[in-house]
Amino acid sequence: MMTSEKLANIIRGRGYKLTPQRRAVLRVIARSRDHLTPGAIYERVRKEHPGIGLVTVYRMLELLADLNLTCRVHTEDGCRSYLMRRPSGHHHHIMCTSCGRVVDFTKCDLSELQQRVSEKSGFKIEGHLLQFNGLCQECREKTGAGGPFRTGKVW
Amino acid sequence: MMTSEKLANIIRGRGYKLTPQRRAVLRVIARSRDHLTPGAIYERVRKEHPGIGLVTVYRMLELLADLNLTCRVHTEDGCRSYLMRRPSGHHHHIMCTSCGRVVDFTKCDLSELQQRVSEKSGFKIEGHLLQFNGLCQECREKTGAGGPFRTGKVW
DNA sequence: TATTAATTGAAAAAGATTTTCAATTAACTC
DNA sequence: GAGTTAATTGAAAATCTTTTTCAATTAATA
Ligand SMILES: [Mn+2]
Ligand SMILES: [Mn+2]
Ligand SMILES: [Zn+2]
Ligand SMILES: [Zn+2]
């Protein structure tokens, strides 16, 4: 669990000033279990720190991404930079195409596939992005098997 | 190989009018081996069809995505909707973090992983997004092992 | 050729993100 | 507890990207 205190220490440890604005952003991100847009983060942060500028939120999000403390998730249509906290090292997500809920999973062995792809393509592979898309239990129950948002899209 | 003629037939077959503007967009997309932004596509299309509106390009790209004839790729930082033609059904890509080159691969068996993730999470999984990131052979040779763009980022 | 619904493109609107720059302040030193 | 200083902040403007509107045009069909 990445508390905002731990995040704060990392920030300071890297030589960045720890401002009340930054603390507020850290709290919001550390606490959320969902991915949030910059705008959504801004709205939440404002409740704890009215007067904070949207620019500051953007700058903080950039810093967090640079420090690898957040990662992006990718929605089906629009592809804005949604963010979520990253609990630990390497991880992946499942996203509900209906409600947007995101669940992490960490265990995944792609090494064999990666090896084969690397050999065939000549690439030196350094990372990957893996995200399953589907319907969460709740949405399935709510809308019946399949549900109204079922697109059948394949990535 | 998806020629622009084949694409044109699909478009018409689905009951859409085949305009010179649409033909021009199809040619650009079918010919390119790279992913392109809407803006980049617009620039190229203008050379063959000066006077085409950017809006028309956007509309055509939306149509192609709806018909599942294109798919998006995701760059490391900015996450705009880059597009590339989709040669056939289900597929994935490898992207060079240095030059942006994209290579497809179609063979990948995630069914076992998908099954396990589905059981654990309760999601009904309907699709996935898989993209390896790394350095292509050319960029590796050009810049030495690792290369200057190596970020070590993990998704 | 006439009909008609789909398509186009200019312009405006809406959004998202970045740049600028003067004022503020966290961290450090004395 | 001051004083110093470079980093940080936020208002405003600038940039970009994407969407909406709507009147004019046109591909498809008869
Ligand atoms: Mn994306
Ligand atoms: Mn991973
Ligand atoms: Zn759901
Ligand atoms: Zn390359």
pLDDT, tens digit, 9 for 90 and up, residues B76-129: 555 554 455 554 444 577 877 777 677 777 777 788 888 888 998 899 988 787
DSSP letter (8 states) at residue A77: S
Q: In a 3-state reduction of DSSP, which class is residue B144?
A: coil
Q: What is the pLDDT of residue A133?
A: 80
Asked if B130 lies within 8 A of A134 by C-beta distance, the reply is no
* Those residues with Cβ within 8 angstroms of residue A77's Cβ, 6 or more apart along the chain or in another chain: none
What digits encode the pLDDT tens for the residues B5-54?
Answer: 889 999 999 999 999 999 999 999 888 877 788 999 999 999 999 999 99
Strand C atom within 7 Å of B13 CB: no
A75 C-alpha vs ligand 1 centroid, how far in Å?
7
Nearest to B79 among A72, A89, A96 (CB): A72
pTM tops 0.85: no
- Residue of chain B whose alpha carbon sits nearest to that of A134: B125
Taking the CA of residue B10 and the nearest CA in chain A, the distance in Å comes to 18
Strand C atom within 7 Å of A133 CB: no
Asked if A124 lies within 8 A of B134 by C-beta distance, the reply is yes
Nearest to A129 among B120, B135, B155 (CB): B155
Which of B75, B91, B132, B149 is the best mutation test for A, with the most CBs of A within 10 A? B132
Side-chain-side CA neighbours of residue B5 (13 Å): 1
Residues of chain A with CATH 3.30.1490.190: 89-155
What digits encode the pLDDT tens for the residues B53-82?
Answer: 999 999 999 898 888 888 777 665 555 544
CATH number of B89-155: 3.30.1490.190
CATH class of segment(s) B1-87:
mainly alpha
Of A112, A79, A74, A111, nearest in space to A93 by CA: A74
- The pLDDT mean for chain A works out to 78
Burial class (CB in 10 A: 0-12, 13-18, 19+), A122: middle
